[in-house]
Amino acid sequence: MEHTALPSSTAAARGVRLQGSCGASRLPSPLPERRPGKAKVGCEAFGSKAAGLRLEDLPVLSIPKETLKAHSRQEHSTKPAFIHHRESLWKRCINAWRDVGIAGVLEELAYAEEDGDLDQEMDELPWTDSAKELALRWMKAGSRYTLALCCWVSSLHGSFFPHLSLQSEDMIAQFSQAVDWAGCSIRAFAWHPHTSKFAVALLDDSIRVYNTSSATIPILKHRLQRNVASVAWKPLCASLLAVACHSCVLVWHLDPTSLSTRPSSGCAQVLSHPGHSPVTSLAWAPSGGLLLSASPVDTAMLVWDVSTENCIQLQWFGGGGVTYLAWSPDGSKVLAATPSAVFRVWEVQMWTCEKWPTIKGPCRTGCWSPDGSRLLFTVQGESVIYSLSFLEYSGEQQGQVGGSKTASIVADLSETTFETLYGEERIGGEVLSMVWDPSGERLAVVIRGNRDAPDCRVIIAVFRTRNSPVFELLPCGFLQGEDGAQPQLVAFHPCFKKGALLTVCWSTGKVSHIPFFFVVAQFPSFSPGQSPLIPLGSRSSTREQPLFSEL
């Protein structure tokens, strides 16, 4: 039975306090934009192994946007015209109910008179001509008026939640974790949780799977694989990949021993639910037993049992939908962000939740500490990182989320001016996304400066972190790309044993891997030891790379 447990404190009590925070001004000064003559660093020196992973074997991709062809923005352009005439009206109504919901059924009924569909269906009924004509007239009129009422209610609802008036692609672009989802060649990225392979979703709606131990690169395509917003590998499973698409969730079953580069569409399960589109976020339970999906137009997030293709709705009225999901690594809690100024954290034993109102806008992104005791999150339009701590309940108190009543500001990344050899550099701004490495010792944050400024830049800030016995977030340095390259997506390798390995997808279509070498400790101490920052490429190649502050 669904139950929602709200904290006893009011929204005002869930304030924000500044506690132990650090700012962009405390970060080491970055180098300016790349200029000719900078040091060249070879990559062949890093041939060490970590958990069976040879760093130089990781593919450094380059997929320019010009090599990909994006689909048309017209969402219904793929519907074949001949199907409309071949299928009966009632069958089209069933399909419309499955794809769109009640609004689709009403639209089919209201405009069926254009090709005489209703007259043909009514002729099959054993009624008199007058009864048929009256029923036909009432059905058309009722469908039109009901559809108009639905449109009016939808417009009223849209005045409270402006994102509902957006086209699907614009909605996905607004809530995607990618910096420029609509314009970049790479739209989604995911490492496999246990092996050194990753999936990349591209602008042309294809997905490529790269594996360090195989030269075969499967390319996944499906007629329903449109507007991919997220991809997620199933934990404790070799090759199950969930894909968030415009109208459904696709689950690809890939044979890791297959040499085929084009798996058939029969390898994909289709998980769909009326009114649950577009899908913008996915999250697997760490045990791999359940899959969560979210849509900005659906106030319920869906809990899928993939084996049976059945789902349960976790309904919560208010918020205007669900935009982003993050399951804690210990499997006990789920972050669910909404398009409005509130987000929720669910506990998964009794599926109760607590909500935290924000002040200025919706939750943009969030990430969990490795033990699930702390949540870092950001708010759209703000340049600060907030922290929430959670207690672990047992016995009679099980079923409570246990979150602290107030969120603390732990980092302020507002724009700051640095003095460099080539003049002033302005760094900082809105936090777009962030990832926490599995060891809990590095945090990568993607920040964007003032969008109206002519020199607006997107850059990655790196922090050293410690969660126990006390939480610490220490500034470490910046990462920036080549000329004209801005970071789009970031992800840490889940199984890198000699520190942390950060993968960055750039706006130019390149995918690079950046290692941070350190000794993982239960309670890490922050020493002034150096961690090399070197992009990985082929063994025999060298490339020009600016040297940033030590990491």
Token pair for residue 301?
Answer: 């997030």
3-state helix, strand, coil in the chain (%, to 5): 15, 35, 50
Alpha-carbon distances of 88 from 76, 91, 109, 124, 538, rounded to whole Å: 19, 5, 12, 12, 58
Alpha-carbon distances of 6 from 9, 166, 344, 345, 515, rounded to whole Å: 8, 31, 10, 11, 42
What does the pLDDT read at residue 343? Answer: 92
What phi and psi values does residue 371 have, to the nearest 5 degrees? -90, 0
Other CB atoms within 10 A of residue 395 CB: 5
- CA 208, distance to chain mean position in Å, is 18
- The answer to whether 333 and 347 have CB atoms below 8 angstroms apart is yes
Show Cβ contacts of residue 172 under 8 Å, excluding neighbours closer than 6 positions: 181, 227, 229, 246, 278, 280
The residue ranges of the chain whose pLDDT is under 50 are 1-20, 34-51, 74-85, 114-115, 523-551
Q: Which strand ranges, in their side-by-side order, compose the sheet holding 219-220?
A: 186-191, 197-202, 207-211, 219-220
Q: Are strands 416-420 and 407-412 parallel, antiparallel or unpaired?
A: unpaired
Short-list 436, 331, 324, CA closest to 392: 331
Quick one: how many helices (H) and strands (E) in the chain? 6, 35
Place of tokens 């979150």: 403
Residue 413 carries which DSSP code? -
- Which of helix, strand or coil describes residue 485? coil
What does the pLDDT read at residue 131? Answer: 65
Token pair for residue 8?
Answer: 């006893």
- Which of helix, strand or coil describes residue 147? helix
* Torsion, Cα of 127, 130, 132, 135 (10° steps): -120
pLDDT tens digits, one per residue of 52-78 = 567 777 888 889 888 887 665 544 444
Token pair for residue 462?
Answer: 């790196």
Q: Does an H or E element contain 153, and which?
A: helix 129-160
Q: Does an H or E element contain 133, and which?
A: helix 129-160
* Torsion, Cα of 413, 419, 424, 425 (10° steps): -30
What does the pLDDT read at residue 186? Answer: 96
What does the pLDDT read at residue 130? Answer: 65
Farthest-apart Cα atoms in the chain, separation: 91
3-state secondary structure 2-24: CCCCCCCCCCCCCCEEEEEEEEH
Domain boundaries, the chain: 19-62+374-551, 81-166
3-state secondary structure 108-130: HHHCHHHHCHHHHHHHCCCCCHH
* pTM attached to this predicted model: 0.74
- Which of helix, strand or coil describes residue 65? helix
Place of tokens 């007239």: 137
What does the pLDDT read at residue 155? Answer: 56
Other CB atoms within 10 A of residue 413 CB: 25
Token pair for residue 31?
Answer: 């180098």
